[in-house]
């Protein structure tokens, strides 16, 4: 039994919205990073669902790329968070506002 593609899209949308909600509301940088991961994975779900639906592998290959990129991003993001913590003794993203104009 195959699941209709609309369900995947709905799942992906839900995941993306949860991620977005997290990005917009959370102040903890780690949760922030996790929310971004969630949004990326929402995109991955979409890519794989459509790849399966259209019967070619391009989408799946792109999903692999995205995962690699996500891993890299986490590495950078964690680095930033470490620096953030070192400088501000906190991981609250609303504290460092010195990098504006």
The answer to whether 101 contacts other proteins (rule: CB under 8 A) is yes
Nearer to other proteins, 18 or 93 (CB): 93
CB of 23 to other proteins, least distance (A): 5
Nearer to other proteins, 19 or 49 (CB): 19
Rg of the chain over CA atoms, in angstroms? 17
Q: CA 85 to CA 92: how far, in whole Å?
A: 9
Retrieve residue 25's tokens: 């509301």
The answer to whether 87 contacts other proteins (rule: CB under 8 A) is no
Single out the segment in contact with other proteins by CB under 8 A; choices: 3-11, 42-50, 56-64, 91-99.
91-99
Q: CA 70 to CA 19: how far, in whole Å?
A: 14
Distances from the Cα of 56 to the Cαs of 42, 59, 67, 76, in angstroms?
Answer: 20, 7, 19, 32
> Interface residues with other proteins (CB under 8 A)?
20, 23-27, 32, 93-94, 96-101
């Amino acid at each position: 039994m195959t699941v209709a593609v609309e369900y995947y899209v709905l799942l992906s949308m839900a995941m993306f919205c949860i991620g977005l909600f997290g990005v917009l509301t959370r102040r903890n940088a780690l949760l922030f990073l996790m929310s971004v991961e969630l949004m990326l994975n929402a995109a991955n779900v979409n890519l794989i669902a459509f790849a399966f639906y259209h019967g070619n592998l391009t989408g799946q290959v792109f999903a692999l790329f995205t995962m690699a990129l996500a891993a890299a991003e986490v590495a950078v993001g964690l680095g930033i968070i470490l620096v953030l913590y070192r400088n501000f003794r906190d991981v609250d993203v609303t504290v460092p506002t010195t990098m504006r104009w």
